[in-house]
Structure 1
Amino acid sequence: MWYPDSIMRIIGADSIITTLGSSHKYIKNMVFRLFGPENLRRDMIKDLQKTAEASLLSWLHHPSIELKEAASSGRKNVMKMLKEMMDERKKATGRQESIDFFDVLLEELKEEKHAMSENVALDLIFLLLFVSFETTASGITAILCFLSDNPKALQELTEEHDYIQKKRPDLNSEITWEEYKSMKFTSHVIHEALRLTNIAPVMFRKATEDVHIKGFAIPKG
């Protein structure tokens, strides 16, 4: 994987995408400590439901919804904000367990033989914020587009969620891990949409040598 300098200035020189081998594996496993199945089951699934419901409810009183692309105020401003948040978190006392990614990173930085610096930690947070916004929006857009063209799939998806709600003793109760795991068709819809659509805005490749394909010459570099 190769990225041009213009992209690296945004993502950061200490980003996980620049690491290889054991270092990359270590950082990836650390990310999964927060975003893996156990935390999803215990905490995140309820937070995701609350966020989704709040967003949808905010639309109810509007005759139409205008979707706008969010623009970053610049890497320097974002990194400054993240640094201030990390410094405040360092000063906090009485935190008994890791509750977000800042805590996971701070635990790592406290280790005597930690595998990352504070700059790497901040770049990692920035990268997660940067890539998750675009890919999540693109993924949801693709799913809605495919469902609008496939009414049978939309009907089956609706029936699956209606069935889950009807089984609840309380219709307003929060989603459970068991309900999430039972959404088989929902999972198929998501995976099929991701199979058919490239949600990454661009993938860069760099030729390590001159290449000739069907009469076209791709020079090294």
Structure 2
Amino acid sequence: MEIMSVIEACFSALIIAGLTHWIYRWRNPKCNGVLPPGSLGLPLIGEALELMIPSYSLNLLPFLKKRIQRYGKIFKTCVAGRTIIVSADPKFCHFIFQQDGKLFDAWSLDTFSKLFDQKTANMSSIHRYIRTSVLRRFGMDALKQNLLSAMEEECRAALRSWSQQESLDIKYASGTMALEFSAKQLFSYDPQAEQSSEKLGDVYFLFTEGLMSIPLKLPGTAHYKCLQNHKKALSKIREIVKERIASPERSEEASDFLDHMICGMKTDKFLTEEFMTQLLFGLLFVTFDSVSTALSLAVKLLEEHPLVLQELIDEHEEVLKRRQTSDSLLTWNEYKSMTFTLHVINEVLRLANISPGLFRKVKQDVEVNGYTIPAGWGVMIATSALHMDPETYKDPTTFNPSRWKDCKSEDMLKNFMPFGWGMKQCVGAEYSRVLLATFLHVLVTRYQWKLVKGGEVCRAPMLKFRKGLHINFLQKHM
């Protein structure tokens, strides 16, 4: 018995020593220099739970605000097992963008490799293909030639339908509108022809609602529902891709984005069924989430700031007065003349902070401000912190589109990056701005609206509205 007790004691001591060593190694990772200050939190999960703590204002996430105050504008953390350096330092953030592809890689390229099983493919050529293809379909030339008019017709139809209801959740409705319009351009989607009672917009809405939830794969949890709706969305899109591949004569006409991809399957071997499915899913997700969040917040803020709303109405009424026919569709020159509208959009995007930040992966050790960031670590460019920095934006939590009127401050422009920065800016940036401006044009010239219920802002960490944002739209007498 004494021998067994000794063995048990030794075994317990070994376990405790092993755990102690493991925790020590976790909290003190290898680094060929000095790591930035901060905490890696608990083993494996890091500080993920603190990141999920909700905030009920448009202010900076408590997770970021607290750490910037404690550690400064560059600090280390860990989320779900991934060690990350967070930067709210403007100079370092711009350095990261300037060194894209040299010292840093976008994590999205890693994601492409995992999703599409491209182990040996040239991922830079795939990224270049995607960028070129998206710009061809959604870029400046396409917007000028046909998308702007089509957008306005879509917005008119949507608002006409919404005004016939007592109220609706604007985030869901606007996301569905944006998704269905983009899906028409991508693969000629017709929501009326969809046989399932659960439409594509419904599935995306439920998917985005649980996207940043605690990752517990248990039935009934938000994360589990998110995963299930992710599968549903992929299944719907995959079925469309399969049907189109099986009808090559249709794709030869190359009338939409999917047709162009299918036509390229003979020359570009990475254009597989799975690649096209995942790419279409991703493009629709970006549209649904970014446009619905920004548009919903714009409706809420304009309703709360009548003076701003009146200035916006005045600008759009001037556009109508200059026309020979007031009911004609927007022209590109009219869109470019909407200066205050673009100021409103900038301010909404600054406050919305649709994503807390942009992510990169370190390719080799990087020295910054006396610290070393080890190769293999992640870096988060905290765009939300840049947008809410009082040193750059006076009274940053205040909705003030007029701050952009005399925007001679280079700092304001340099630190405003809702769609990324420079050559790495999201290829859909202008598309999103045009869609937002077009919607606002139709909204303020043809409708009045009021908040019915909901509307309380919540960041967890993505921007949402507790109990939705239910709006009643009433058509003006023209």
Query: What TM-score bracket applies, with the shorter chain setting the length?
Result: 0.7 to 0.9
The equivalent residue for 1:180 is 335
Of 61, 64, 70, 2:164 maps to 61
Of 238, 245, 248, 1:83 maps to 238
The equivalent residue for 1:24 is 127
Whether the aligned pair in 2 keeps the contact of 1:109 and 1:118 (CA below 8 Å) is no
Q: Using a 3 Å threshold, how does the CA distance of structure 1 residues 141 and 66 change in structure 2: closer, same or farther? A: closer
Deviation at residue 164 of structure 1 after TM alignment: 1.1
Q: Secondary structure at the match of 2:162?
A: coil
Q: CA RMSD in A?
A: 3.4
Q: Which amino acid aligns with 2:260?
A: V
Of 137, 140, 149, 1:46 maps to 149
Whether the aligned pair in 1 keeps the contact of 2:251 and 2:262 (CA below 8 Å) is no
- Between 1 and 2, higher relative CO (CA 8 Å, sep ≥ 6) is seen in 1
Deviation at residue 147 of structure 1 after TM alignment: 2.6
- How many angstroms apart in 2 are the aligned matches of 1:99 and 1:184? 34
- How many angstroms apart in 2 are the aligned matches of 1:44 and 1:136? 16
Q: Secondary structure at the match of 1:32?
A: helix
Q: Is 2:300 the counterpart of 1:165?
A: no
Q: Which amino acid aligns with 1:101?
A: F
**Structure 2: gaps (5+ residues):** 1-78, 82-107, 117-121, 173-204, 208-227, 366-376, 379-478
Aligned length, in residue pairs: 202
Of 95, 99, 105, 2:261 maps to 105
Deviation at residue 40 of structure 1 after TM alignment: 1.1
Of 100, 103, 115, 1:14 maps to 115
**Length-normalised TM-score, structure 1:** 0.73
Residues 167-220 of structure 1 show CA distances to partners (whole Å, capped at 9, x for unaligned) of 2222222222222222222112112221232112776688999xxxxxxxxxx7
Q: Using a 3 Å threshold, how does the CA distance of structure 1 residues 80 and 197 change in structure 2: closer, same or farther? A: closer
- How many angstroms apart in 2 are the aligned matches of 1:96 and 1:153? 49
- How many angstroms apart in 2 are the aligned matches of 1:92 and 1:22? 25
Q: Which amino acid aligns with 1:71?
A: L
- Structure possessing the higher radius of gyration over alpha carbons: 2
Of 139, 142, 147, 1:36 maps to 139
- How many angstroms apart in 2 are the aligned matches of 1:4 and 1:51? 40
The equivalent residue for 1:71 is 206
Between Structure 1 and Structure 2, the one with more strand by share is 2
Between Structure 1 and Structure 2, the one with more helix by share is 1
Q: Using a 3 Å threshold, how does the CA distance of structure 1 residues 113 and 120 change in structure 2: closer, same or farther? A: closer
Residues 81-120 of structure 1 show CA distances to partners (whole Å, capped at 9, x for unaligned) of 223322333315366754322123223324x245543322
Q: Which amino acid aligns with 2:299?
A: L
The equivalent residue for 1:132 is 287
**Length-normalised TM-score, structure 2:** 0.37
The equivalent residue for 1:213 is none
Whether the aligned pair in 2 keeps the contact of 1:147 and 1:154 (CA below 8 Å) is yes
Of 350, 359, 362, 1:195 maps to 350
- How many angstroms apart in 1 are the aligned matches of 2:80 and 2:358? 11
Deviation at residue 32 of structure 1 after TM alignment: 1.2
Q: Secondary structure at the match of 2:236?
A: helix
Whether the aligned pair in 1 keeps the contact of 2:136 and 2:142 (CA below 8 Å) is yes
Q: Secondary structure at the match of 1:58?
A: helix
Q: Using a 3 Å threshold, how does the CA distance of structure 1 residues 136 and 66 change in structure 2: closer, same or farther? A: closer
- How many angstroms apart in 2 are the aligned matches of 1:68 and 1:171? 29
- How many angstroms apart in 2 are the aligned matches of 1:98 and 1:119? 20
Q: Secondary structure at the match of 1:14?
A: helix
Q: Secondary structure at the match of 1:139?
A: helix
